[in-house]
Amino acid sequence: MQIASLCGWQIGRERFPETIEGNETVLITSKRGVLGHGRVGVVEEVRCEQPGFLYLVRKRIDIPCGSTYQTTRAIEAINREIRTLRNLSHPHIIMIIGSYQEKIASRHVCFLLMFPVGNNDLEGFLMTAAEVIRQRTPPKALQYSRWLRKWFGCLASALAYMHSQGVHHEDIKPRNIVHSGEEIYFTDFSSVREVDLASQVTSTESPALATRIYAAPEALPDEHGNSSRHGSKSDVFSLGTVFIEMLTVLDGKNINSLREGLSAYSPYHKITHTFDDWFASGVSAHMYIKCIKLMLALERQDRPTATEVVDCIRGSQPWRADACSCQNMTSFSS
């Protein structure tokens, strides 16, 4: 909120995306490069001239100029992402600072400005950390191992908070998680679903948008194209697959070797039966058996809630020394 005030923006009073008429601009200079490509837009790092050359994440979303239906759907999706981020407040969820629009070459473009800028996404970090930890390169190996142990609780805490607010992320994967130093953040809420907690509607049969390899079994259509009901515990499964990759790196192993039983684009749920042997020994065996294995149950009802995952991680003795203060937050209801 302080950043928005310093920049002269007011969260909650953006004219866009309720309408795509008009033109609002924000003084931004020195684009330093593309950080990545989300499901619906390009993510880049920008610098605001005030205050003090602040670096922000800017997500660009082009509004389709075809049918009115396409335009309306796109605006609704942008509106939902902005509303979700505006309503979420957790130390491990990226913050939205503001939004604005521009008309570029006859096209309407929406920009979302967020903070902080990550050093890397988790996928990139794991590739680097795997080599450092395997070679026991000092002092980075100890530092990266400590960060990874800390991030289990941070990500579980953020997911439990989302679910307590009636939000399902629906596309949890390493590319949608970024770190800034030792701090970790969920990003890209373009696939998010909002759940009516008052009416206890907690699952849906509509197709999930999860990236296939990290998706829960029920989040993907079967061979006949039929979808099962999925909900908050589908997020729990996806986070469990991310944790599997983090545990693999902590053990000094290779993620590509973990995936040997998978063909291209096959989901992790096809090889969960191999994980017992994969983690039979090593520093991560205890965490896998006590917490992560339960998250990967093929039947949705057999998985813990995100809150139960937080409690499990918080109670794991070997990991307590690296716990983040986020785990001392008030218990969530998910």
* CATH code at position 77: 3.30.200.20
Q: What is the CATH number of the domain that holds 194?
A: 1.10.510.10
Q: Is residue 290 one of the residues assigned to a domain?
A: yes
Q: Is residue 167 one of the residues assigned to a domain?
A: yes
Domain shared by 77 and 158, yes or no = no
Nearest to 174 by CA among 247, 122, 248: 122
Q: What is the pLDDT of residue 33?
A: 59
Of the three residues 83, 115, 147, the one that is the final residue of a domain is: 115
pTM (predicted TM-score):
0.86
Domain shared by 72 and 33, yes or no = yes
Q: d(Cα 150, Cα 313) in Å, to the nearest integer?
A: 10
Q: Is residue 248 one of the residues assigned to a domain?
A: yes
Domain extent at residue 189: 120-328
Domain shared by 302 and 182, yes or no = yes
Q: Is residue 333 one of the residues assigned to a domain?
A: no
Domain shared by 174 and 323, yes or no = yes
Domain shared by 299 and 165, yes or no = yes
Q: Is residue 334 one of the residues assigned to a domain?
A: no
Domain shared by 87 and 156, yes or no = no
Domain shared by 56 and 99, yes or no = yes
Domain shared by 48 and 154, yes or no = no
The rounded average pLDDT for each run of 10 residues, N- to C-terminus, in the chain (334 residues) is 47 41 44 58 75 76 78 84 92 89 76 89 96 92 94 95 94 95 94 71 52 90 65 94 96 91 84 94 87 96 95 76 71 54
Handedness of CA 264, 130, 307, 276 (dihedral sign): positive
Domain shared by 140 and 236, yes or no = yes
Q: What is the pLDDT of residue 52?
A: 58
Q: What is the pLDDT of residue 89?
A: 93
Q: What is the pLDDT of residue 132?
A: 95
Give every CB contact of residue 180 below 8 A, 6+ residues apart in sequence: 116, 117, 118, 119
Domain shared by 65 and 84, yes or no = yes
Q: Is residue 177 one of the residues assigned to a domain?
A: yes
Domain shared by 111 and 126, yes or no = no
CA distance between the termini of the chain = 27
Of the three residues 115, 146, 168, the one that is the final residue of a domain is: 115
Of the three residues 80, 115, 150, the one that is the final residue of a domain is: 115
Give the number of domains in the chain. Answer: 2
Domain shared by 78 and 134, yes or no = no
HEC string of the chain? CHHHHHHCCCCCCCCCCCCCCCCCCCCEEEEEEEEEECCCCEEEEEEECCCCCEEEEEEEEECCCCCHHHHHHHHHHHHHHHHHHHHCCCCCECEEEEEEEEEECCEEEEEEEEECCCCEEHHHHHHHHHHHHHCCCCCHHHHHHHHHHHHHHHHHHHHHHHHHCCEECCCCCHHHEEEECCEEEECCCCCCEECCCCCCCCEECCCCCCCHHHCCHHHCCCCCCCCCCEEHHHHHHHHHHHHHHHHHHHCCCCHHHHCCCCCCCCCHHHCHHHHHHHCCCCCCHHHHHHHHHHHCCCCHHHCCCHHHHHHHHHCCHHHHHHCCHHHHCCCCCC
